[in-house]
């Protein structure tokens, strides 16, 4: 659908009215506030801005427009959310292309066939004489009649054409039965049922619509029969996009803030029956990118509880990497004694709850996995351990966590921690696997040179020479966002940027916003209206549009609801500059001091001298920054006294 369809829908709706149907909102000046529906909180940090038609939560950093809100709260795709809101607004979306219309027609026919098949299989289980085998099997697995009915579990009779005959009587054509993946063409013509003598588990999409089946063979079948058979790829069913049980589990997942992922359908059903309802299954396949993104809509954390065997552990590892790359907090739960969750639950529900509660961090799991069957003192095993641990470690975003596990790895394989750190840095930049190196003076000297090269070049001691190789993400992000939120709120503050400020002090992802803001403001010679500047920036950087809205809301939260004095506002901006530059320089200083200690240890006098000089320049800069801060405080006091109750205009 064209993007102007989305704009028409957004223009026709009041975001506060739509959001207000899900969240209890209270007016706060020009905005509305409430408790965030996407994470647990006691004080309201969820904001809705009717003028800009956006929402943002300062607690979990989620945000967007009315369409993205409905997507997230309902677990919908963009197109589905747009259709829902268009209907609400009374807007007719642009007609589909012939190809789109053909796909819609095929999907509608397949959905009708699938719904009839689900009803047929379910009734065959509950009422048919042949279904007694399936009923006995499910009873032996601990499934009550209530559970069977709740999940609409079914039975496929042994007859070659039981389902086909049922569908024919209801006017369903052969092509539509095949299109839904429920039958195959026979060699002599006609159709035969794809599923026979099996227990049928309906597979539903996130909205609860049946899109396919997993069929479990009943005991006593031929040994050659596969234990599980799934619906093939169809217009409705794509196994990479479906998580079994999600339509039932999504409410609990959102409330708990985490999803438990298991392998099989029976694991999910048993867990829900036992009262642990934030559980879904990947249906025996490795976790896919689409499934990860689907889970991310509902919770920031997933707990992987796959079977603890070699194949299960490898599948877990693949899923971990995908989930971390999507920004999810991933944990691993280990079911004891090689049992699957269904067996664990049948033995003790409390044990299953304890398994989930005792989940491991990602890296603790990877350490355990990498050590299995290996001797960390053997050189070949040591290399394998280092490679496997660092492969996963590269995906960890938190600096402190990475440092912790680098130290743990160094202790495990008895290697110099700094050599491992440098190898980690090189492999992270190149994307190549990490190779463990030996120790020795040559490696240490090379490492010292590499760290020194990352330090500022020698010059006259201005801040322009101060460069840092790595920053602590959380604090630097906070400081960068604080500065940019004030600049977006009042672009004229660009005239107060201190001469020693470096764009590199900002986190890399926000530097384009700063430079674009500077260029846009300069192009107007400082005379642009604030809204004109903001719109120009969002058009220039569409990928950051929602981030820009969130930054503006942050500033408005502090400055947009009351009048404020010019000196106080200017001081807040100057403090933001100083804190950002101070953090930037102190980070470089820590690196330089570390490199100096290495140079002294390895008796490199020239390096010691150069590093000592650079460290002194950094210390001088920090002292000057502190001195400038005190002078600015005194100057602001004088301005405050002279200006009385001077106020500056602002646009929310």
- Taking alpha carbons only, the member of 373, 265, 260, 370 closest to residue 319 is 260
The predicted model gives 82-98 an average pLDDT of 86
pLDDT at position 300 is: 82
For residue 216, is it left (φ>0), alpha (ψ between -120 and 50) or beta?
beta
| Range of weakest confidence among 85-94, 313-322, 611-620 | 313-322
Q: Same domain, yes or no, for 83 and 103?
A: no
| pLDDT(451) > 80 | no
pLDDT at position 248 is 95
pLDDT for 242 beyond 60: yes
Give a yes or no: residue 81 inside a domain. yes
User: Domain check: are 431 and 515 in the same one?
Assistant: no
For the stretch 148-160, pLDDT in tens is 999 999 999 999 9
Q: Which residue has the higher pLDDT, 438 or 138?
A: 138
Kindly report the CATH number assigned to the domain that includes residue 124: 3.90.980.10
Task: Identify which of 198-207, 437-446, 499-508 has the greatest average pLDDT.
Answer: 198-207
User: Do 630 and 492 fall within a single domain?
Assistant: yes
- Say if residue 286's pLDDT is above 50: yes
Domain that holds residue 31: 3-89
Q: What percent of the chain has pLDDT over 90?
A: 28
Establish if 449 belongs to a structural domain: no
Whether residue 112 is found in the same domain as residue 216:
yes
Among 68, 89, 110, the domain-final residue is 89
Residue 364 resides in a domain: no
Nearest alpha-carbon partner for 213 in 164, 171, 151, 160: 151
Distance between CA atoms of residues 288 and 204, nearest Å: 17
Q: What is the layout of strands, in order, in the sheet containing 329-332? A: 279-281, 258-262, 301-304, 329-332, 360-361
Burial of residue 476 (CB within 10 Å: 0-12, 13-18, 19+) is: buried
481 shares its domain with 604: yes
Q: What is the per-residue pLDDT for 432?
A: 46
Give a yes or no: residue 465 inside a domain. no
**pLDDT class of 528 with cuts at 50, 70, 90:** low
Q: Is the same domain home to 303 and 334?
A: yes
Task: Report the CATH number at residue 337.
Answer: 3.40.1360.10
Q: What is the CATH number of the domain that holds 29?
A: 3.90.580.10
**Residue 399 and residue 502 in one domain:** no
- What does the pLDDT read at residue 472? 34
Mean pLDDT confidence for 47-73 = 86
Does one domain contain both 109 and 210? yes
Give the total number of structural domains in the chain.
Answer: 5
52-58 average pLDDT score: 85
Question: In sequence order, which residues have a C-beta less than 8 Å from that of residue 24 and are 6 or more positions away?
Answer: 34, 35
Over range 394-410, report the average pLDDT.
83
Distance CA 592, CA 586 (A): 10
Is the separation of the CB atoms in 191 and 185 below 8 Å? yes
Encode pLDDT of 59-70 as tens digits: 877 888 899 999
Q: Are 492 and 637 members of one domain?
A: yes
Query: Does some domain include residue 138?
Result: yes
634 and 495 in a single domain? The answer is yes
pLDDT in the model for residue 647: 33
Q: Is it the case that residue 463 has pLDDT exceeding 60?
A: no
What pLDDT, on a 0 to 100 scale, did the predictor assign at position 366?
84
Using alpha carbons, select from 101, 100, 108, 96 the residue that is nearest to residue 176: 108
Residue (of 470, 455, 386, 431) closest to 611 by Cα position: 455
Identify the pLDDT of residue 3.
56
Share of the chain above pLDDT 70, in %: 83
Task: Give the pLDDT confidence score for residue 632 in this predicted structure.
Answer: 52
Q: 3-state secondary structure string, 22-80? A: CCCCEEECCEEEECCCCCCCCCCCEEEECCCCEEEECCCCCEECHHHHHHHHHCCCHHH
Residue 196's pLDDT band (cuts 50, 70, 90): very high
232 vs 571, which has greater pLDDT?
232
Q: Mean of the per-residue pLDDT values for the chain?
A: 80
- The string of pLDDT tens digits covering residues 289-305 is 889 888 887 888 999 88
Top-confidence residue, 307 or 588: 588
Angstrom CA distances, 428 to 51, 156, 391, stand at 43, 52, 9
pLDDT of residue 345: 94
User: φ and ψ at 31, to 5 degrees?
Assistant: -110, 180
User: What's the pLDDT score for residue 437?
Assistant: 39
Please indicate, yes or no, if residue 447 is contained in any of the structural domains: no
Q: Which residue has the higher pLDDT, 60 or 359?
A: 359
530 has a pLDDT exceeding 80: no
Q: What are the helix and strand counts (H, E) for the chain?
A: 26, 16
Q: Is residue 506 part of a domain?
A: yes
**Residue 580 token pair:** 């950002």
- Domain check: are 515 and 633 in the same one? yes
Which 3-state string (H, E, C) describes 9-37? HHHHCCHHHHHCCCCCCEEECCEEEECCC
What's the per-residue H, E or C state across 343-361?
HHHHHCHHHHHHHHHCCEE
In this prediction, residue 564 carries a pLDDT of 60
Claim to verify: residue 217 and residue 299 sit in the same structural domain: no
pLDDT for residue 479 is more than 80: yes
- 3-state SS assignment for residue 230: strand
CB count within 10 Å of CB 174 equals: 14
Residue 444 lies in a domain: no
Residue 456 has pLDDT above 80, yes or no: no
pTM (predicted TM-score): 0.61
Q: How confident is the model at residue 314 (pLDDT cuts 50, 70, 90)?
A: low
């Amino acid at each position: 659908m064209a993007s102007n369809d989305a704009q028409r829908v957004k223009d026709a709706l009041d975001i506060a009215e739509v959001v207000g149907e899900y969240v209890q909102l209270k007016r706060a000046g020009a905005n509305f506030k409430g408790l965030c529906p996407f994470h647990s909180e006691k004080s309201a940090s969820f904001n809705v801005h009717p003028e800009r038609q956006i929402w943002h939560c300062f607690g979990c950093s989620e945000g967007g427009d009315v369409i993205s809100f409905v997507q997230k709260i309902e677990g919908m795709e963009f197109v589905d959310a747009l259709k829902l809101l268009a209907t609400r607004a009374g807007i007719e979306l642009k007609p589909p292309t012939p190809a789109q219309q053909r796909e819609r027609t095929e999907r509608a026919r397949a959905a009708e066939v699938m719904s009839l098949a689900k009803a047929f299989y379910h009734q065959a289980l509950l009422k048919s004489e042949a279904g007694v085998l399936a009923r006995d099997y499910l009873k032996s697995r601990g499934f009550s009649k209530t559970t069977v009915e709740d999940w609409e579990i079914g039975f496929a009779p042994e007859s070659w054409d039981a389902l086909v005959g049922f569908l024919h009587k209801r006017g369903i054509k052969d092509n539509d039965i095949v299109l839904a993946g429920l039958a195959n063409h026979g060699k002599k013509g006609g159709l035969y049922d794809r599923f026979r003598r099996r227990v049928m588990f309906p597979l539903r999409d996130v909205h609860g619509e049946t899109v396919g089946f997993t069929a479990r063979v009943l005991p006593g079948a031929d040994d050659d029969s596969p234990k599980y058979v799934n619906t093939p790829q169809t217009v409705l069913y794509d196994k990479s996009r479906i998580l079994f049980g999600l339509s039932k589990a999504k409410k609990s997942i959102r409330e708990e803030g985490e999803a438990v992922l298991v392998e099989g359908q029976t694991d999910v059903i048993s867990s829900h029956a036992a009262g642990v309802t934030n559980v879904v299954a990947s249906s025996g396949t490795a976790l896919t990118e689409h499934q990860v993104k689907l889970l991310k809509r509902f919770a920031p954390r997933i707990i992987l509880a796959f079977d603890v065997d070699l194949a299960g552990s490898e599948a877990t590892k693949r899923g971990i990497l995908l989930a971390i790359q999507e920004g999810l907090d991933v944990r691993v739960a280990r079911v004891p004694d090689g049992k699957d969750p269904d067996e664990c639950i049948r033995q003790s529900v409390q044990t299953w709850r304890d398994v989930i509660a005792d989940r491991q961090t990602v890296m603790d799991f990877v350490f355990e996995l990498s050590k299995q069957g290996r001797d960390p003192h053997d050189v070949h095993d040591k290399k394998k351990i280092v490679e496997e641990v660092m492969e996963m470690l590269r995906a960890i975003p938190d600096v402190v966590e990475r440092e912790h596990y680098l130290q743990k790895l160094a202790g495990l394989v008895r290697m110099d921690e700094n050599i491992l750190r440098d190898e980690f840095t090189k492999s992270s930049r190149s994307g190549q696997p990490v190779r463990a190196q030996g120790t020795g003076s040559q490696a240490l000297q090379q490492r010292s040179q590499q760290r020194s090269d990352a330090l500022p070049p020698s010059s006259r001691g201005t801040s322009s020479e101060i460069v840092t190789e790595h920053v602590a993400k959380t604090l630097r992000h906070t400081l960068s966002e604080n500065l940019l939120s004030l600049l977006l709120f009042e672009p004229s503050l660009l005239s107060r940027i201190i001469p020693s400020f470096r764009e590199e002090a900002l986190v890399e992802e926000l530097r384009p916003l700063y430079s674009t803001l500077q260029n846009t403001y300069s192009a107007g010679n400082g005379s642009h209206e604030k809204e004109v500047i903001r719109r120009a920036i969002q058009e220039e950087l569409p990928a950051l549009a929602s981030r820009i809205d969130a930054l503006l809301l942050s500033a408005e939260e502090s400055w947009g609801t009351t009048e404020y004095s010019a000196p106080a506002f200017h001081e807040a901006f100057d403090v933001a500059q100083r804190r950002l530059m101070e953090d930037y320089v102190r980070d470089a200083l820590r690196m330089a001091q570390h490199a100096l200690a290495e140079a002294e240890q390895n008796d490199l006098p020239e390096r010691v001298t150069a590093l000592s000089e650079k460290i002194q320049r950094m210390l001088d800069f920090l002292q000057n920054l502190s001195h400038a801060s005190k002078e600015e405080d005194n100057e602001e006091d004088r301005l405050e006294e002279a200006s009385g109750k001077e106020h500056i205009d602002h646009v929310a």
